[in-house]
Chain A
Amino acid sequence: MEHVHTEHKLGFWRKYVFSTDHKVIGVQFLFTTLFFFLVGGTLALILRWQLAYPGKPVPVLGQLFPQSMAVGGVLLPEFFNSLFTMHASVMIFFAIIPILVGAFANFVVPLQIGAPDMAFPRLNMVSYWVFWPAPLVVLTGFFLQGGAAASGWTAYPPLSAIEPIGQTFWIIGVLLVGSSSIMGAINYLTTILNMRAPGMGFFRMPLTTWAVFITSILSLLATPVLTTALIMLLFDRTMGTHFFLAEGGGSTLLWQHLFWFYSHPAVYIMILPGMGVVSDVISTFSRKPLFGYRMMVFAIAAIAFLGFIVWGHHMFQSGMNPTVGTTFMLSTMLIAVPSGIKVFNWLGTMWRGAIRFTPAMLNAIAFVSMFVIGGLSGIFMASTAVDIFIHDTYFIVAHIHYVLFGGSMFAAFAGIYYWFPKMFGKKLNDLLGRIHFIGTFVFFNLTFFPMHILGVGGHMRRIYDPMQYAHLQHLQPINVFITISAFLLGLAQLPFVVNFIKSLFWGERVDRNPWEANTLEWVAPSPPPHGNFETIPTVYHGPYEYSVPGRAKDWLPQNEP
C-alpha cells in the first residue's frame, strides 16, 4: 500500500492542464462551473426581462442579438424557449452537479480519507476532459439553423424528437456530462472503499465523504438509464426510429419514466453533497460534535434509497393508474422523514454551540433554512390532488429554486469559503464575504418567494408573455418585482467575483488549519503538494470531536492520538 513519492518536476501542461492530480482537477472543475454559473445567470436575467416587460427591447444585450433571435431587441418566442431550456440545462448539468460532485468531491474526498490521490487518477483526468466540451456543444446550438434546444431541460417528446438540429447538440452534450459523471462515480466509490488511511473506518468518515459516497451510488446507477433514453431520442431524431413517437408504435410516456428515473435521483445528486458540506461546516463553526452523526449517515442513505422509487411524482398529470399515483405520493412524502431528521440534527448541532459566524457558516445556515422552505413546498406538490392544481406553474419554479439555489448553491458557497484556504493557501476576505452573503440571501428570497404566489395564482411556467392571459394581468406587478430583485441578485454576486479574484492573488496567507477543524484535509499543508500528506496519517477519532472536556484546545484532529 505504501507508495514512495518522488517529487519530480512536471511541466506547465502536465501540472495545470492535463493534470492527474485530484486537487488540480477539482480546481479545474471549480473554475469551469463558476464560469457556467455566470453564463446560466445571464441567460436567466434576459428571460426575466421579457417576463416583466413583454415586448420591450432588452437593454444593451438586445441590440447584439441577430434577427433570428430578437427583432429590434425584443426577444422572439422561439428564442425565449431556447433561453429557458439553456438556463436550466447549464445550471443543472454544467454548474450545480459538477461544482458539488466534480469540484468539491474531487478536491476534498482523497484529503478527508487520508489518501495520496484518487484510485484512478487518469480516469479522473478524462472525466474532466469529457466534461468541459459538453456545455460548449450544447451552447453551439445558438449558432445553428433553428437555434438551440427549446424543449426544456426535461426534453419531452414528441417536441424534442422533431425540434431543429440544436436539440441533437443538446443530446450529445448531455451524453458527454453523463459519461463524465459515471467515470467520477466509479472513481469516488473505489477511492472511498479502498484508499482510506489506517484507522479511517467507515464511521469515522466526515459527512462530506459519506455524502459523496452515497451520491456516487446514485449517479452510478441512475445516469446509465438517462444515457439509454438519450440514445433512443437521438435515434428517433437521426435514424428514423419511433421509440418515443406514437405514430410508429412508440411511447412518449416511456421517455418521461426513463428521464425521471434518472432525474429524480439527480435532484439528490444535487443536494446530498451539499448536505455533507454543510454538516462539516456547521459542526466546525459551532465547535460542537455533529448531533446524531450515525443518524445523519443513515438519513442520507434513506433519502438516496427513497429517491429511486418516487420518480412518478413528476408525472401525476401525465396520466397514471390512481393506485400507482397514490404509491408515488406516499413514497415521496416519506422522504420528508429523513430530511426532517437532518434538519433537526443541524439545529441540534448549533444549539448552544459557540458559533463562529464566518461566511462559510452563514451560507450553511442559509442552506438549512432555505432547504426547509423548499422541502415544505415539495410536500405540497407530492400530494396528488394539490399537484394537479399547481403542476407546471411558478409554484414548481419556486420549489426548484429554493432547493437548488437556496439549497445546493448556498452549500456550494459555504464550501468555497470553507475550502478556499486549503485550495490556494489564502483566505477569502471576510467582509466582502459577508456583503456577498447578505445581498444574495435577501435578493434570493425577494426573487423566488413571490413565485409561490404567482404559481397559486395560476401563472404557468415556460410562458413567453404573461400579459396575454386575462387571469395573469393583475399579477404582472409581481413579475416586475421579481425581475428587479433578480437583477439585484445578479449584482450581489459582484463582491464574490471581486473577492475570489482578489484573494486568489493577494489574499491573506493562512497555515494548515485556519478554522481549527478536525478532519484530515486540515492536516495537510495549504495548498497540499502532489501526494497530499508528508506521511500518510493514522486516524484515532471520529471527525467531529470538538470541545472535548478536559482539553486545552477545543478541537481534536483525527490524526492526534
Chain B
Amino acid sequence: MQDAHIGRLGIDTRKLGMWIFLASEIMFFTGLIGSYIVLRFANLNTWPVPSTVLNIPLTAVNTFVLICSSATLVLGLASVQRGYLEGLQVGLFLTVLLGSIFLSIQVKEYRELIHEGFTISSSIFGSCFFTLTGFHGAHVFAGVIWLTVVLIRSFLGYFTAEEYAGVEIVGLYWHFVDLVWIILFTILYLI
C-alpha cells in the first residue's frame, strides 16, 4: 500500500528521496552549463555559429521524440491510477521505445560529427558539446534501463490502482531528463 510509505511530511518517503536526488542533479547540470557559459564568453570570437557545425533539423526531430516519450509516460501513469494496467504497459513500452530512438539518433549524430572531424578534443566547442550532451545521453540511457525494469515489474503485478509509486518516481526522473534536454538543445544548438 502507498500509505505505508507516507512519512511525517505527508509525502511518500521514496518520492521525497527522488526529489532530493533531483536537486543534486540540478546542481550537476548547473555546474556543466555554467562552465559552458563561461567558456563560450571567453571564446566569443572563435566560437562557431552552431548551425554551421551541428545538424539542427535532425536534433529538432529528436527533441520532439523525447517530449513525446514524456507524454506517453504520463498516459501510462494516468492509466494505472485508474486501475487500467494495459494502459500502463503500453505507455511504458512506448516510452522505452522513444527513449531508445532518441539514443540511436544521438549515436548517429555523434558518428556523423566525428566523421566530419568535430570531436571532443577538436575545439573548446567540441569539448563542451560532447561533455554536456554525453552526460545527458548517459542519463537517458540509465532512464531507459530503469523504465525497462518498471515495465517488467508491471507484468509481474507490482502496480495497482493503489500502488504506483514506482511509476511516479521513474516519471519524475524521466521528466527531469527531458527538461534538461530542452535547455541543452536551446543553448547548444539554437543560440
User: Contact: A194 with B46, CB < 8 Å?
Assistant: no
> Does A77 have its Cβ within 8 Å of any Cβ on chain B?
no
Query: Chain A residues with Cβ under 8 A from B131's Cβ?
Result: 231-232, 235, 241
> Does A190 have its Cβ within 8 Å of any Cβ on chain B?
yes
> Does A221 have its Cβ within 8 Å of any Cβ on chain B?
yes
User: Contact: B27 with A251, CB < 8 Å?
Assistant: no
> Restricting to B1-60, which residues have a CB under 8 Å from any CB of A?
4, 6-9, 11, 13, 16-17, 20-21, 23-25, 27-28, 30-32, 35, 38-39, 42-43, 46
| Known A-B contacts A228-B31, A228-B35; A186 and B20 likewise in contact (beta carbons under 8 Å) | yes
User: Contact: A248 with B16, CB < 8 Å?
Assistant: no
Measured CB to CB, the residues of B under 8 A from A are 4, 6-9, 11, 13, 16-17, 20-21, 23-25, 27-28, 30-32, 35, 38-39, 42-43, 46, 120-121, 123-124, 127, 131, 135
User: Which 3 pairs across A and B sit closest by C-beta, in order of nearness?
Assistant: A194-B7, A240-B121, A228-B31
Shortest distance between the CB of B75 and any CB in chain A (Å)? 29
User: Contact: A249 with B42, CB < 8 Å?
Assistant: yes
Measured CB to CB, the residues of A under 8 A from B are 1, 119-120, 182, 185-187, 189-190, 193-196, 200, 220-225, 227-229, 231-232, 235, 239-243, 248-251, 254, 257-258
Shortest distance between the CB of A508 and any CB in chain B (Å)? 37
Query: Chain A residues with Cβ under 8 A from B13's Cβ?
Result: 119, 190, 194-195
Query: Chain B residues with Cβ under 8 A from A187's Cβ?
Result: 17
Query: Chain B residues with Cβ under 8 A from A185's Cβ?
Result: 20, 24
Please give me the residue from chain B that is nearest to A248 by CB atom: B124
Q: Which of A119, A221, A251 contacts B23 (CB 8 A)?
A: A221
Contacts across chains A and B counted by CB atoms under 8 Å: 107
Q: Which of A186, A193, A229, A241 contacts B31 (CB 8 A)?
A: A229
Query: Chain A residues with Cβ under 8 A from B6's Cβ?
Result: 1
Alpha-carbon distance between A221 and B20 when the two chains are bound, in angstroms: 10
User: Contact: B9 with A194, CB < 8 Å?
Assistant: yes
User: Contact: B24 with A224, CB < 8 Å?
Assistant: yes
Query: Chain B residues with Cβ under 8 A from A251's Cβ?
Result: 38-39, 42
Please give me the residue from chain B that is nearest to A226 by CB atom: B31
User: Contact: A250 with B32, CB < 8 Å?
Assistant: no
Point out which of B4, B7, B8, B120 has the most chain A C-beta atoms below 10 A from its C-beta. Answer: B8
Q: Which of A120, A186, A224, A241 contacts B127 (CB 8 A)?
A: A241
Could you give 25 example pairs across A and B, Cβ below 8 Å? A1-B6, A193-B7, A193-B16, A194-B16, A195-B7, A196-B8, A200-B8, A220-B24, A221-B24, A224-B25, A224-B28, A224-B30, A224-B31, A232-B131, A240-B121, A241-B121, A241-B124, A241-B131, A242-B124, A248-B124, A250-B124, A251-B39, A254-B38, A254-B39, A257-B38
